[in-house]
């Protein structure tokens, strides 16, 4: 059961929602358009807002569904977090795209909605406030990611969840390293 759940989570996380939508509805190779990213922001630029929202929901589902399944099966908290990490890593390093995936914000949101719903909603609120102020998706995402370990630490008081949220935040900063360089240089769109 343990191995099945982890493999299922990784494979589900590996489903490239944006790439599938771009090919099916625009005959577009998303990795050669705009930022080259497979996430909702680039899909919105390439295909329009409707498809961006569909990508966002699909990528969230890739994190949400495996964690909810693990919770439903009443496995240990450590295994639930391992499943969550497998789904997240599947999005970042998908087997279906030669291990070159997205940046992980939507999938992380799905994971945290299943693990710590109140913390996820608060971080989403901070993302919305940041986006309203700056109109820069990457900056807003980094603000939300930075807030997640703080919120989790304050609300859930568990070292396991705090450690998990710190790992996810570190990975999100890693995947956004080029965005961070552009933010510092003042060239981020």
pLDDT tens digits along 74-124: 889 999 999 999 999 999 999 999 999 999 999 999 999 999 999 999 999
- Are residues 72 and 136 in contact, defined by beta-carbon separation less than 8 angstroms? no
How do residues 153-173 score in pLDDT, each as one tens digit? 999 989 999 999 999 999 999
CA distance 79 to 160: 11
**Residue 1 above 90 pLDDT?**
no
pLDDT confidence of residue 131: 95
Domain range enclosing 131: 2-185
> What does the alpha-carbon distance between residue 158 and residue 170 come to, in Å, rounded to a whole number?
18
pLDDT digits (tens, 9 = 90+) for 55-72: 999 999 999 999 999 999
- Rounded to whole angstroms, what are the CA distances from 134 to 35, 53, 129? 19, 20, 9
Instruction: State mean pLDDT over 12-27.
Output: 95
CA 147 distance to own-chain centroid: 15
Domain count, the chain: 1
């Amino acid at each position: 059961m343990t191995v099945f759940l982890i493999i299922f989570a990784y494979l589900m996380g590996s489903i490239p929602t944006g790439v599938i939508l771009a090919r099916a509805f625009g005959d577009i190779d998303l990795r050669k358009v705009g930022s080259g990213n497979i996430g909702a922001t680039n899909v919105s630029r390439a295909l329009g807002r409707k498809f961006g929202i569909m990508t966002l929901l699909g990528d969230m589902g890739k994190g949400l569904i495996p964690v909810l399944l693990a919770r439903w099966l009443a496995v240990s908290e450590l295994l639930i977090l391992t499943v969550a990490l497998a789904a997240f890593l599947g999005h970042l390093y998908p087997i279906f795209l030669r291990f070159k995936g997205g940046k992980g914000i939507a999938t992380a949101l799905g994971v945290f909605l299943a693990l710590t719903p109140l913390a996820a909603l608060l971080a989403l609120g901070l993302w919305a406030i940041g986006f309203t102020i700056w109109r820069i998706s990457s900056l807003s995402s980094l603000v939300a990611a930075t807030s997640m370990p703080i919120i989790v630490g304050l609300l859930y008081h568990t070292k396991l969840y705090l450690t998990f949220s710190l790992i996810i935040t570190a990975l999100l900063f890693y995947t956004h390293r080029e965005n961070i360089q552009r933010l510092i240089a003042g060239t981020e769109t």
